[in-house]
Amino acid sequence: MSNNNEIQARNALQKMKPYSPGKSITEVQRELGLTNVIKLASNENPLGPSPKALKAIQASLLELHRYPDAQTTDLKQTIASKIGIAPEQLVVTNGADELITLVSEAFLDPGDEVIVPDPSFSEYEFGATLMGAVTIQVPLQEGYLYNADAILAAVTSRTKMLYLCSPNNPTGTYLTKSDLQQILNQLPSHVLVVLDAAYSHYASAEDYTDGLEFVKAGYPVLVLQTFSKIYGLAGIRVGFGAAPKEVIQSILQVKEPFNVNALAQAASIAAAGDDEHVRRSQELVVGERQRFYEAFRRLGLEYTESMSNFVLVKLGSDAFACYEKLMAKGVIVRYGRIWGLPEHVRITIGTPEENDRLITVLQEVIASS
Ligand SMILES: *Cc1c(COP(=O)(O)O)cnc(C)c1O
């Protein structure tokens, strides 16, 4: 046997950058010999999963020898009545990440152009590169704000998709409803808009839109949602998309039949009905966001006001050293270099106790640097 085979992966794979998930609690415990580690790095819900979801999972365990419902009928019905849209306008996926891959597979040919805001979520580029499409980055403006004119100026005859992440990860800034209206009015009809509303439940601004009203009005918009963030189910992987029927039908053509497992379906049906859990999670974030701002101001740190459950904070030229010192003190945040922001960190809002600890530790780190 020889290892000198000539098997080659697709050319597109040479351009693909691996996703960097950040360090886990157990990794940091092991590597640094720490016990009490907190993670404010992945925008998870610090209140945990909905208790109703946990009960639903337990009740489903004895049926695990059965295949899950390939159509996710009950879950789609639950979502449909909750957001006021027809089940035919929904697709449920193994996390919203899978939806990004599926929409790329369904709509992108080699050479197509995909417009993405910069900085933003890295999976958009992943999907585009996977299909041999070209990513066109449009920088956010001063203060990381969206600029509708700049986005429209990037559109060409080859543009196939336009991603808008609102609230945007990692900046927390958002696209106003009037800007989205302007973009939709002026966009050529061959462009599909993907509005990533993963953090929509945390957006409290009057002029914010989660995009669903535009889907209902018939615009070529795919709204992406997830059960990973406010619903606290990141570990079980459920997301969904809402769009015009024809868009959904194309996505369904590339979807594997059993992409959403049985426990995930049961859990998200229950979580979608747990308004109390959602309300508590929202209140926590909106209140603690203000406390973060006050602390950052007190520490003399520049930050970007956020409509989400995380805040982008500027630590300056020794940001990486600060990030490492925070980790050495058992607090994991996300370092900004992956977004081209080497002087920033993104800090997820945790429980009040976790946030107290972050503030104390950040103060110590800044004082020592
Ligand atoms: C977390 C996140 C998602 C979806 O995550 P899944 O866990 O795959 O559902 C999508 N978009 C953004 C911007 C996110 O931050």
pLDDT tens, position by position, 30-64:
999 999 999 999 999 999 999 999 999 999 999 99
- Which residue's CA is the closest to the ligand 1 atom numbered 12? 198
Q: Is 292 in the pocket of ligand 1 (CB under 6 A)?
A: no
Quick one: pLDDT band at residue 19, thresholds 50, 70, 90?
Answer: confident
What are the structural domain ranges in the chain?
A: 11-48+276-368, 51-274
Reply yes or no on whether the pLDDT at 23 is more than 90.
Answer: no
Contact 236 CB / ligand 1 (< 6 Å): no
Closest-lying ligand 1 atom to the alpha carbon of residue 229: 1
Q: Which atom of ligand 1 is nearest to the CA of 121?
A: 13
Measured torsion, CA atoms of residues 285, 290, 294, 300, in degrees rounded to the nearest 10 = 70
* pLDDT score of 162: 98
Nearest to 180 by CA among 154, 156, 215: 215
Ligand 1 in reach of 47 Cβ (< 6 A)? no
Residue entry with tokens 């016990």: 35
CATH number of 11-48+276-368: 3.90.1150.10
- In angstroms, what is the span from residue 228 Cα to ligand 1's centroid? 7
Distance of CA 230 from the midpoint of ligand 1 (Å) = 11
pTM for the predicted model, two decimal places: 0.97
Taking the C-alpha atoms of 91, 96, 99 and 104 in order, what is their torsion angle to the nearest 10 degrees? 150
Q: What percent of the chain has pLDDT over 90?
A: 96
**Rounded Cα distance, 112 and 281, in Å:** 40
Q: Enter the CATH code of domain 51-274.
A: 3.40.640.10
* Residue whose C-alpha is closest to residue 215's, from 307, 331, 86: 86
Helix ranges (DSSP H) in the chain: 25-32, 51-60, 73-83, 95-107, 123-130, 148-153, 177-186, 212-216, 245-254, 262-272, 275-298, 319-328, 352-367
